[in-house]
Amino acid sequence: MMHFEFQVEGGNFTKAGAASSQLKKILKQLNVDPKIVKRIVVALYEAEVNIVAHAYKGDIIIDIDTQKIGIKLIDEGPGIPDIEQAMQLGYSTASPSVREMGFGAGMGLPNIKNNSDELRITSEVNKGTIVELITYLNQ
C-alpha cells in the first residue's frame, strides 16, 4: 500500500500537470502496464487541469495497492451547480485564458470517465468539488 499527496494551485498553468507527471514516474517504476498508466495519468491530468482552470486550490490524494489505484481530488472553488450538465460533451464554463492553453472545450469530464473504471463527483456551490477515481490494475 502506497500513499501520496500533492497540492495544486488554482490559476497556475506553469505547474499544471506536475502531480500527474509524478504519478506517471511512480507507476512506471512499479512496472504497471503502460496502457493502464496512460489511462490513469490522462484522467488525473484532466482532473488536475480542472482544478487549475476552475478552483482556487486543491489537494490530490493517491492510494495504490496491488489491485487498484484510488485518486481523490478535493478543491476549494466555485463548485459545479449541475454535475449532469457538466458531464455532457461540449459543455464548458472555462475562461478564455484556459482555452488559450488548449483546454476548455467541454471534453475533460467525459474523458475522465472514459479513462477510469469508477468515477464519483460531488460538489457544493461556492465551496468546492470532490472527484474520486478508481482504476483497477488487473483488467
Q: How far is the CB of 106 from another protein (least distance, A)?
A: 8
- Per CB under 8 A, the list member of 32, 36, 87, 101 interacting with another protein is 101
- Per CB under 8 A, the list member of 102, 126, 138, 139 interacting with another protein is 102
Cell numbers given for 105: 472545450
Q: Strands of 68-76's sheet, edge to edge?
A: 2-9, 57-64, 68-76, 128-136, 118-124
Contact between 21 and another protein (CB under 8 A)? yes
Kindly state the DSSP code that residue 91 receives in the 8-state scheme.
-
Alpha-carbon gap, residue 131 to 79, rounded angstroms: 11
Contacts to another protein by CB under 8 A: 13-14, 16-17, 20-21, 24, 34, 38, 41-42, 45-46, 49, 101-105, 107-108, 111, 114
